[in-house]
Amino acid sequence: MARSIVNDPRVRGLFYQVLLVVALAALFAFGWRNAVVNMEARGIPLGFSFWNEIAGFDINLSLIDYSALSTYGRAFWVGLLNTLLVAGISIVLATPLGFAVGVARLSPNWILSRLALGYVELMRNTPLLLQLLFWYNAVLKALPGPRQSLDAFGLVLLNNRGLYLPRPVFADGAWTILVAGGVGLVASVVFARWAKQRQDATGEQAPVGLVAAALILLPAVLAYFLAGRPVGFNYAALAGFNLRGGLQIFPEFAALVFGLVTYTAGFIAEIVRAGVLAVSHGQIEAASALGLKRGQSMKLIVVPQAMRLIIPPLTSQYLNIVKNSSLAVFIGYPDLVLIFAGTVLNQTHAAVQVMAITMGVYLAISLIIAAALNLFNARMALKER
């Protein structure tokens, strides 16, 4: 009877699982025990009390109030917001660029498709870090100083301290523009619904895009003049050895966004190309048989079907942007990793706590983006009848 118990797959399975659980538990206990001993020996705090201590360092880019007198907890939020800022802007910019390059890859024009191919190969086959260092050190830092700024009509200035854009200045009454635009937005949504219903019923199409643009822009422009032009612009200008005024975009931020966008666009382009190519050729032929033009058949037939294939890998590219934004640490953009896993960790020595929080944040972001796009994906998925 002993043999049959040994050979029973359920008993064996249970045995292996117990073995694994015990081994993992022992490993964790071993690590935990050593960590406690080591941290006490080195005088490293065990809890999270450092969270409310004074940080004592400055951060040059912060979306919320922050000074050297703020707490480590505040520094964490600054870093997190900076990470989200750079990742969000990069996602918004990389998507259209990637789609454009992907479509260019499929262009019948030989030069255009070869150029797009060259772009994709160059981006995908060199390390992102190398690209970032190139943009930051060899391009942005090598620009002339503030006194010899590159100048586009005095509106946009570029020098080795950053890119200077006009900064909008809002006076009293600026809110009326926002309200007018908002009303226009609601009106255009209502119009779009009505147009869709009418098209479903009668087949007649309405110029939804044009009407919506007019509905939003006209009231906003009208409000701007009626309220006495409450929005002005503040331009950067030379004052002493530096530029004053305007909206300064730091070279670290610019290099990181530019590098992330161009790099990820190369990957998105390949995803788009694969998605479009996967749509069966019969679909395109049927579309032309119905009399649709090339652009129409792309927009109405090919892309909606390709999107189903594009969205899952596109999601992982978005996640990659969030994760790759941590390369900020190499060029000194104050993101979550640089501020929290760098400076805060070095000052408090609370390595375990800081790393746990940092990794937890990235995990949470990953899970949220994945969940959101899964939801979207479920709506886009083929409806089998």
Partner 1 sequence: MGVVAFVRTASEPDEPPPIFSRGALAWMRANLFSSVTSSVFTLLFLALGLYLLPPLIEWATVKAVWTAPDGALCRLHQDGACWAFIARKIDYLSYGSYPESDYWRVILVEVLGAALIVWLLWPGAPGKRFGAWGFFLVYPIVSFVLLVGAPSLDLPHVDTLMWGGIFVSLVTALVGIVVSLPLGVLLALGRRSDLPAVRLASVIFIEFVRGVPFITVLFMANNMLPLFLPPGWEVDRFARPLVGIALFSAAYMAEEVRGGLQTLSRGQYEGAMALGLDYSHMMRLVVLPQALTLVIPGIVNNFIGLFKDTTLVAIVGVNDFLATMDNAFKDAVWSGPSLLATGYAFAAAFYFVFCYAMSSYSAGVEKRLAVGRRR
Binds partner 1 by CB under 8 A, chosen from 90, 266, 358, 373: 358
Residue 353 near partner 1 by CB under 8 A: no
| Binding string, residues 107-126; x marks residues near partner 1 by CB under 8 A | xxxxxx--x-----xx-xxx
| Binding string, residues 19-58; x marks residues near partner 1 by CB under 8 A | -xx--x-----xx--xx-xxx-x-----------------
138 vs 201, which CB is nearer to partner 1?
Answer: 138
Binds partner 1 by CB under 8 A, chosen from 323, 332, 377, 380: 323
Least separation in angstroms between CB 30 and partner 1: 8
Least separation in angstroms between CB 121 and partner 1: 7
Binds partner 1 by CB under 8 A, chosen from 89, 351, 377, 380: 351
Residue 308 near partner 1 by CB under 8 A: no
Q: Which residue, 242, 324, 265, is CA-closest to 104?
A: 265
Binds partner 1 by CB under 8 A, chosen from 5, 8, 11, 13: 13
123 vs 180, which CB is nearer to partner 1?
Answer: 123
End-to-end CA distance of the chain: 55
Binds partner 1 by CB under 8 A, chosen from 2, 6, 69, 138: 138
The conformational region for residue 156 under phi > 0 = left, psi -120 to 50 = alpha, else beta, is beta
Least separation in angstroms between CB 86 and partner 1: 13
Q: Segment near partner 1 (CB under 8 A), from 133-141, 154-162, 178-186, 282-290?
A: 133-141
Residue 337 near partner 1 by CB under 8 A: yes
Binding site for partner 1 (CB under 8 A): 13, 16-18, 20-21, 24, 30-31, 34-35, 37-39, 41, 107-112, 115, 121-122, 124-130, 133-134, 137-138, 142, 319, 323-324, 326-327, 329-330, 337, 341, 345, 351-352, 355, 358-359, 362-363, 366-367
